[in-house]
Structure 1
Amino acid sequence: MSIDRYPLLAREGRWHIALAAGVAVAVHYFAGPVWAAPFWIILVFILQFFRDPPRHVPDAPDAIICPADGKVIALSEAEDPYLKRPSKRVSVFMNVFNVHSNRSPVAGKIMERWYSRGKFVNAALDKASLDNERNALWILTDQGQDVVVVQVAGLIARRILCYVQPGERIARGERYGFIRFGSRVDVYLPLEARFEVSLGDSVKGAADVIARLAP
């Protein structure tokens, strides 16, 4: 088991945390603890949203690890809209209380990246996979299999962040992006892949195995 190493608080939240802390301290100092209480609560919410704990990453080469914390809301065969192939799809919904760092489900080479503007409907709805703003990565694994992972914006998510580009290598469980304030992640797999989770399961990014690739 490998352990990833990231700060406990995501760098994407530093400005939000500093601003919220500054307001809470100022209101507490000038107006007192009663008036400052809502601002301290907001600070606690922001701290929990931007937490980014280290995770134990499974080393098994056939393992597809979960790309995000959340709840499994879809397990099905579906048309991969990026590679235009029949595939198996796993969808994980992240609410505002989940960790929002996104992790690579496999190790391999990034072959292509697609960004699509779109709507901001409820990410728990199936149509969000095609209608919402989204960012997709095609990863060719070291075993020669194609995996596509898609960040999908949600109802209140307004910022998809992705830090990798085509031609780069990425490790299993490596942090590659972040979505602010609620969203979902879809993973498109070869038809031969075997699901390792069930609908409704709560899963952890970089730690839980959601599927396994065929040899």
Structure 2
Amino acid sequence: MIRLHTEGKTILFRALLILAVINVAVFLLFTNEWVENIVLIVSIVIYALVLQFFRNPKRYHQVDNNQVIAPCDGKVVVIEEIDEQEYFKDRRIQISIFMSPLNVHVNRYPISGLVKYAKYHPGAYLVAWHPKSSLLNERTSVVVENPEGTPVMYKQIAGALARRIIMYAKEGAKVLQGTDSGFIKFGSRVDIILPLDANVLVKVGDKARGGEQILAELK
């Protein structure tokens, strides 16, 4: 049985209602059985795609304060050094994971610890792989400091299709690695900002598995 994320339940209900109305209208207005069958098949496919988008599979990972796990499913598209000017104001390593509409879109905390910073930024909707999307697009920025005192930032970044970012993190809250940290509706990416001495364990092109895969080890 598919486990659904709570963020999708209202949308799934509305989609089911709209598709049901469309199919009833086609049945009443058309006498062509082929038309009725085509509309029914298309409706089932559309609903199945929306359903899989909001799936929330259970993921298992033993909590480790020195490991950073993937906050989402997707493809690793960037690993590079950056000048992080929003919070740290120094050089950091950035790992970016692109989520296609077919990926699970649940976001999870990459480490356990105390939320030191959480901010929502309104913005544009450039394609998620655009170099300036992390600065110009609608996004959130969250910094979690692990029990050893090492902070890690992650950013939820909207893409061309995304129109709503859900962020659960609150400053001062204690969070657990691998638990739900938010949701991005219909595509985009997540950036993870690490210390320069972090040992990165993935490479560009790798497929990330949110809540399980280890991206890096902290020193």
TM-score range, shorter chain: over 0.9
Q: Aligned pair 1:121/2:116, yes or no? A: no
More divergent stretch after superposition (73-82 vs 103-112): 73-82
**Equivalent residues of 2:108, 2:210 under 8 A apart:** yes
Maintained 8 Å contact 2:97/2:191:
yes
Match of 1:186 in 2: 191
For residues 142-188 of structure 1, the C-alpha deviation after alignment (integer angstroms, 9 at most, x for no partner) is 11001111000001101010112100001011101000001100011
- What residue is the counterpart of 1:34 in the other structure? 38
Residue range with higher mean Cα deviation, 26-35 or 113-122: 26-35
* SS of corresponding position for 2:111: coil
Rounded Cα–Cα distance in structure 2 between residues aligned with 1:143 and 1:190: 13
* CA RMSD between the two structures: 1.4
Note the C-alpha offset of 1:125.
1.8
SS at 1:67's partner residue? coil
Letter in 1 for 2:80: S
TM-score (norm 2): 0.90
The residue type equivalent to 1:21 in the other structure is L
Tell me which residue corresponds to 1:111.
116
What residue is the counterpart of 2:171 in the other structure?
166
Larger Rg computed on CA atoms: 2
SS at match of 1:59: coil
Shift of 1:16: 1.5
Question: Which residue of 2 is the match for residue 81 of structure 1?
Answer: 85
Shift, 1:114, TM fit: 1.7
Q: Structure 1 residue 68 and structure 2 residue 63: aligned?
A: no
Structure 2: segments with no counterpart, 5+ residues? 28-35
Instruction: Confirm or deny that 1:14 pairs with 2:19.
Output: no
| Structure 1: gaps (5+ residues) | 1-6
Q: Does 1:203 align with 2:208?
A: yes
**Percentage of pairs with the same residue:** 34
> What is the letter of the counterpart of residue 10 of structure 1?
H
CA contact (8 A) 2:65 2:146 kept: no
What's 1:136 paired with?
141
Indicate if the aligned counterparts of 2:168 and 2:182 stay in contact, CA closer than 8 A: yes
- TM value normalised by structure 1: 0.92
Segment drifting more, 165-174 vs 20-29:
20-29
**1:9-65 per-position Cα deviation (integer Å, ceiling 9, x unaligned):** 111111121122223334445524332222211100100100010001233321100
Could you tell me how far apart the structure 1 residues matched to 2:184 and 2:191 are? 13
Instruction: Give the counterpart of 2:47 among 43, 47, 52.
Output: 43
* 1:53 partnered with 2:57: yes
